[in-house]
Structure 1
């Protein structure tokens, strides 16, 4: 008499466990991705500080206003190019993180949506 109820309960428990496992894998992917992004931002920040310090030292040694303007112009161009490049790379990492974090959830949804015999 309770056999259909027991089967439905077991099916529900299995689906719940599978979904929970998928969410844990998804959060794991997000965590790894955010660590990678954090490491990239930290590396970029360190390099930007190093470049700024180098520029400041060059400016201190400038012999003329024209030389100082040239040093500053080159530094600004390098900083802009570096920022655009790094922002593009970080944007790609964000997209990759989103794709990878969604994969376990997508698999769980497909598994749940596919009828089992």
Structure 2
């Protein structure tokens, strides 16, 4: 049980500090994810433009189809790889955002159970 007002006040301050640390970690994680999404979009657009230029300059329909199929395969593989990377980034962001609360909960548990 919390024994005094000072303990309660310290608990409140610690909770605010944990929230600020968590919000900071979450914000940094979202910035990383956003930068990654922008970079992926830029690269995808560039690859699409290059594939279109190659396909439109092809001498035959078969060659244009071959270029398009190669681009489709490459785009699909890049998309799946990027989704895996986004998944990893989201998990690491969640873990970093939870860390301050994890320590506070672990520290609070013995006080509450006494």
TM-score calculated relative to the size of structure 2: 0.93
Task: Note if 1:12 corresponds to 2:12.
Answer: no
TM-score calculated relative to the size of structure 1: 0.91
> Which runs of 5 or more structure 2 residues have no equivalent in the other structure?
none
Larger radius of gyration: 1
Distance in 2, matches of 1:114 and 1:25, equals 23
Q: Tell me which of 65, 68, 83 is aligned to 2:64.
A: 68
Please tell me the root mean square deviation across aligned C-alpha atoms, in Å: 1.5
> Which runs of 5 or more structure 1 residues have no equivalent in the other structure?
1-6
Deviation at 1:111, TM superposition (A): 1.1
Aligned to 1:23: 19
Distance in 2, matches of 1:79 and 1:115, equals 55
Deviation at 1:72, TM superposition (A): 0.2
Aligned to 1:51: 47
Aligned length: 111
Distance in 2, matches of 1:44 and 1:68, equals 25
Deviation at 1:114, TM superposition (A): 2.4
Distance in 1, matches of 2:46 and 2:17, equals 44
Deviation at 1:53, TM superposition (A): 0.5
